[in-house]
Amino acid sequence: MNKKGYTYLKFSGLVILIIILFAFTSKRNKQRKINKVSIEFVEEQDPYVNEMTVNKLLIQNQERVTNVGKEILVLNTVEKGLDAHKMIEHSDVYLTVNGELKAQIKQRSPIARVNAVTSFYVDVTGSTMPLSNSYSAHVPLVHNVSEREVPEVFPLLKKIQDDEFLKKHVVGVFRTFKGHYELELRVYSFRVVIGKVENLENKVRNFKAFYQKALKDQSLDKYKKVSLQFSNQVVCTIK
């Protein structure tokens, strides 16, 4: 047999072997059963949705699922069911070669809690989410804001979340009847008047400069209000 014929025969044999292996693997996969369910919460987050809730969403009947062949379980449908939960931002569901059903869960992250007749959270994307039965988030409490006004206040809430100084000091956000906003601080009793949710970078920069100076002068306890709504200045009201 010449070299060309030998190469052809070798290639044909390899193709046949691949087909046999594929058929064998496919048959084993169809016969394989789900014998374990594993849930993993990605990133370090507070438990707004617990493992029991996710498990119920994954499988309504544990015994039934552990006895169902892999081909019957539609993973995309399972993922869509998880993603539809109001506490879940994203899920990834897959089956391992050992027959283990795994679900990786990323929860939504609240950055503020709105005090309303039916209270709710605002998450990092500006969307609303219900309160959790598993955990209460340590976030600023927002007053006099309805769900309709969330887009208006969201840039301020996001600024508080992203700025370490504000995140440390701000515990409350109030909306006045004029649509202006004021901040309540954790330690000091004075209100910080933001005014309209605009020019936030400049307002926060001015407040930080004022705070550092007043802290050095030990005068922070003297004020009733500190207004940032006027351009490039901080206006203080004495108690």
Q: The domain at 32-107 falls in which architecture?
A: Roll (3.10)
Quick one: tokens of 232? 């490039």
Amino acid 10: pLDDT: 41
Q: How many other CB atoms are found less than 10 A from the CB of residue 73?
A: 15
pLDDT at 184 over 60: yes
Where exactly are the structural domains of the chain? 32-107, 110-238
- Which range of 24-28, 61-65, 78-82, 174-178 scores highest in mean pLDDT? It is 174-178
Average pLDDT over residues 88-113: 84
What percent of the chain lies above the pLDDT cut of 70? 77
User: How confident is the prediction for the chain on average, in pLDDT?
Assistant: 80
Domain 110-238, CATH among 3.90.230.10, 3.40.50.11690, 3.40.50.300, 3.50.50.60: 3.40.50.11690
Amino acid 63: pLDDT: 42
pTM above the 0.95 mark?
no
**119-155 pLDDT per residue, tens:** 999 999 999 999 988 788 899 999 999 999 999 999 9
